Amino acid sequence: MSKSIAVNAGSSTLKFKLFDMPSEEVVAEGTIERIGEKMGHAKIKYGDGQKHEEEQPFVDHGAAIKYLLDQLIALGIVKSYDEITAVGHRVVAGGEYFKDSAVINDDVIEKINSLAEYAPLHDPAELVGIKAFRKALPNAFAIAVFDTSFHANMPKMNALYSIPYEWYEKYGARKYGAHGTSHRYVAAQAAKMLNKPLEDLKLITLHIGAGASITAIKNGKSFDTSMGFTPLAGITMATRSGDVDPSLVAFVEEKTGKTSAEIIDDLNHKSGLLGISELSPDMRDILDAADKGNEKAQLALDIYVNRIKRYIGAYIAEMDGADAIVFTAGVGENSAPVRKLVTDNMDYLGIKIDQEKNQCHGVQRDLSAPDAKVKTLLIPTNEELMIVRDIERLKKEQAN
Ligand SMILES: Nc1ncnc2c1ncn2[C@@H]1O[C@H](COP(=O)(O)OP(=O)(O)O)[C@@H](O)[C@H]1O
Ligand SMILES: CC(=O)OP(=O)(O)O
Ligand SMILES: [Mg+2]
């Protein structure tokens, strides 16, 4: 038996799962949250029900990675790094280059480095993880699994913007999307739950966490997705604006004297739920405050829900219908109130949930009302499992 680790760096989190392979049994897992904020939080589960929890600041992803590597030994999860024979890293942007997961070598690292502009909040942090693990585990089989791969062959009709064609040809200006590993996983699970071949289904997968994206999946393939050239586009997120008129950048530049790079940074870090509510990026805080009558929190919630509804409507129209919508990621998995608000008044489109079944979190469940024409499913995502499965696949491909 050997161990494989999946390392998943998000915009403000670092998640990992250590698997015994090939059994796919999880032997340790953890999350480091609020990286870059004043106080961070680390939670690791391991052994038979042991838990390690700690509050401390993590200045950046480098600090979080170091902490993870140290804790693997300190908590006795492994006696030596040699026990971990394979590592899979989540990388958000693979550009036009990486249409599938890749075995990491110097050339791949160089390519990921050159793609940093395509996911400025993610790729640089993920490279830090790749390099740190390479140093600590020099003999491990290491791969990169790209969020964008699932969307790489999206129909051109949806991947291209209505902009001068040569921007696409010369510079690769197109929609790349993100969260593909998650959309791919929940789509496969949805097919199992519905007991139908994935190839026969039209699905709308709602990955709503701190970063959030919605994908239209037709015949098992990404047909359209809400994130764009970078993960800034689409629906309202914790701190990201989602879709805005690009003219705003020049307008705000003129008004404030900020550079376009600073404004894009504001759209990434100071917008979304945080920007509108002027309170918090965290949906739990927004729901609490809205409940207590805070008007800006209520407005942030209304805008958030509205944008999700807008994309559901658009994707039902684009695919000529849908068999199911799927809720996943931090908000989608844990917030019954948000799931209710999103699906309220959608009977016209055939979407209707059973309010009692909806009272749950973090479990796989069909939430549909008996007379719903479009099923509503709750499916906790598992990007890490997809990552270690790709390790096995690439190992076999390399051996052949
Ligand atoms: N019970 C809950 N109700 C509402 N939102 C929640 C709940 N639990 C977690 N969240 C939200 O989930 C988000 C984190 O989701 P996650 O998918 O882990 O994010 P990411 O991978 O983008 O860092 C947080 O911003 C938090 O607001
Ligand atoms: C692409 C993206 O937004 O990722 P995350 O949700 O992990 O920040
Ligand atoms: Mg995530």
Of the residues 20, 48, 60, 147, only one is catalytic, namely 147
pLDDT at 235: 98
Q: What is the mean pLDDT of the chain?
A: 96
Among 90, 237, 334, which residue has the most ligand 1 atoms within 8 Å of its CB, making it the best to mutate?
Answer: 334
pLDDT at 1: 67
DSSP secondary structure string, 185-208?
HHHHHHHHHHTS-GGG-EEEEEEE
- Indicate whether 326 pLDDT > 80: yes
Helix (H) or strand (E) holding 50: strand 50-56
Return the minimum-mean-pLDDT range out of 108-122, 214-228, 341-355. 108-122
Under 8 Å between Cβ of 376 and 205: no
Which tens digit of pLDDT belongs to each residue from 97-149?
A: 999 999 999 999 999 999 988 888 888 899 999 999 999 999 999 999 999 99
**Residues ≥6 apart with Cβ < 8 Å to 144:** 88, 89, 90, 91, 94, 98, 101, 102, 104, 108, 112, 126, 130
Measuring CA to CA, which residue among 179, 119, 122 is closest to residue 147?
Answer: 179
Question: Has 200 been annotated as catalytic?
Answer: no
Does the pTM exceed 0.80?
yes
Which tens digit of pLDDT belongs to each residue from 183-205?
A: 999 999 999 999 999 999 999 99
- Indicate whether 371 pLDDT > 70: yes
Lining residues, ligand 2, CB within 6 Å: 10-11, 92, 122, 147, 178-179, 209-211, 231
The first and second tokens of residue 394, run together, are 């690439």
Give the closest residue (by CA) to ligand 1 atom 26: 282
Under 8 Å between Cβ of 97 and 62: no
Say what percent of the chain tops pLDDT 90: 93
pLDDT at 299: 98
Asked whether the ipTM of the predicted complex exceeds the cut of 0.95, the reply is yes
